[in-house]
Amino acid sequence: MRFNTVKGYNYYLSKMRYLRLVLVLILILGLITGCNKLEKSSSNSNDSSKDVITTEATYSDEEGTLYDGDEYEDEDKLLSSDLKDGREIEDDIELDDGSEDIEEDKVTKVDLIMVGDMLLHDPVHESGKYPDGSYNYDHLFMNVKDIISCSDIAMVNQEVILGGLELGLSGYPTFNGAYEIADSLVNAGFNVILHATNHTLDKGKKGVLNCMNYWKTNYPHIGVVGINESQEASEDIYVFKKDDLRIAILNYTYGTNGVPIPSDMPYILNMLEKARIEKDVKKAREIADFIIVAPHWGTEYMHTPSKEQVELAMFMADLGVDLVIGTHPHVIQPVEWVESENGNRMLIYYSIGNYINSTSSVGDGVTNRMIGAMAKVTIEKHEGEVAYISEYGAIPLISHKDTSGPGRLTVYTADDYSEELAKANEIVKQDKNFSLELCMDIWNEVYENLRLADSE
């Protein structure tokens, strides 16, 4: 006797007990009736066995199999000993999930999110400083932490090097951030930090070394990509693993704002060069099922990808890259599928804009910098098959500039934003056109056709 679930067996048990009770009542009734008949017939016959009623009870389970009373008794004893407090039956009852003759299809699924530029202008630095002299930046992520923390891979473009207070916190044009930014990134749930940007060397070699040391010392489990402490490290490929799905993540920058690469550490920063990309992708293909490239590229404040971006996108598709998520323009750019001549199909987010910023610029167009995208991609792999993108999309994010006190500057999803909040956003003083409606108009224009979709 087999059951698909413990719940089904419990139903059978209750059904049998009910029937058993009915049987007992029938037997009692039969005995009473029999006794009456015996009393009536005792005067006519001395053979009392003629009118004794005998009953053979039968029961059937959901599949129609019949069990006599003795078999039911045995089953009842089995249940009372092996099924206690709702726990599963262990030895004598075999549970069947309905697929005994079909090998289960093993699927590994990875949910990925990525946010854009962590652009630490002076007001962002100040928002994390408290009266007692301590720093904390958890407020930057408090409205989106739930989304970040439930993802398997959570990536962020850490635009600004985190050289610590010893090098002095600074904003545009030469940035440097506090170590506490790293703490808050981890607290929010990010586990892959992209450090290859045009501001990586703003504080020279010392800034990069400080940053790498802080990550290595305090968060060795976090993937830090794009900067390297040695030649050997620069040749390593970061691979995220979940079950039998391996995802390689590569990160490069187009330049360093003219700051020279340290002559004694030519490997310190991954540069966006075709030869380097080709070498890394070939190596990644040998050890991973899926390849992501996060390039820092494009033209600032342009919603349209540059000629160089489009050309590099095709180059990467030809190499077999599966997904590209770009940063640097500080505004959002389109999302599309690119198909190479060799048939490889690659999804590309040309730019997901800023995550946080507090620009001092004024005039029309500043609103464009206040809206960014959180890329959302689901990657799946069936056992024995190639990995693929099963779903993709993006969540609109809005930087809220409020410098009235520590912990006030933050980011909202568009769903959680309102026109009332928009009116209170201090960016209105810099761009009188700023509004939630305008932000969404920009979003809809750039991402007109973006939606969750099957990759086929």
pLDDT of 314: 97
- 345-349 and 335-339: which strand pairing? antiparallel
pLDDT at 405: 84
- Asked whether the beta carbons of 318 and 334 are under 8 A apart, the reply is no
The domain ranges of the chain are 6-82, 107-446
Q: Which CATH number fits domain 107-446: 3.60.21.10, 3.30.70.3270, 3.50.50.60, 3.40.50.1820?
A: 3.60.21.10
> pTM (2 decimals)?
0.77
Q: Which of 352, 387, 351, 370 is nearest to 430 (CA)?
A: 370
Cβ-based neighbours of 414, under 8 Å, separated by 6 or more: 371, 395, 396, 397, 398, 436, 439, 440, 443
The arrangement of strands across the sheet holding 345-349 comes to: 238-242, 245-253, 290-296, 323-325, 345-349, 335-339
Length of the chain measured in residues: 456
| pLDDT the model gives residue 28 | 59
pLDDT value of residue 66: 32
Q: What is the pLDDT of residue 448?
A: 83
Counting as low any pLDDT under 70, the low residues of the chain are 1-103, 449, 451-456
The string of pLDDT tens digits covering residues 191-238 is 999 999 999 999 999 999 999 999 999 999 999 999 999 999 999 999
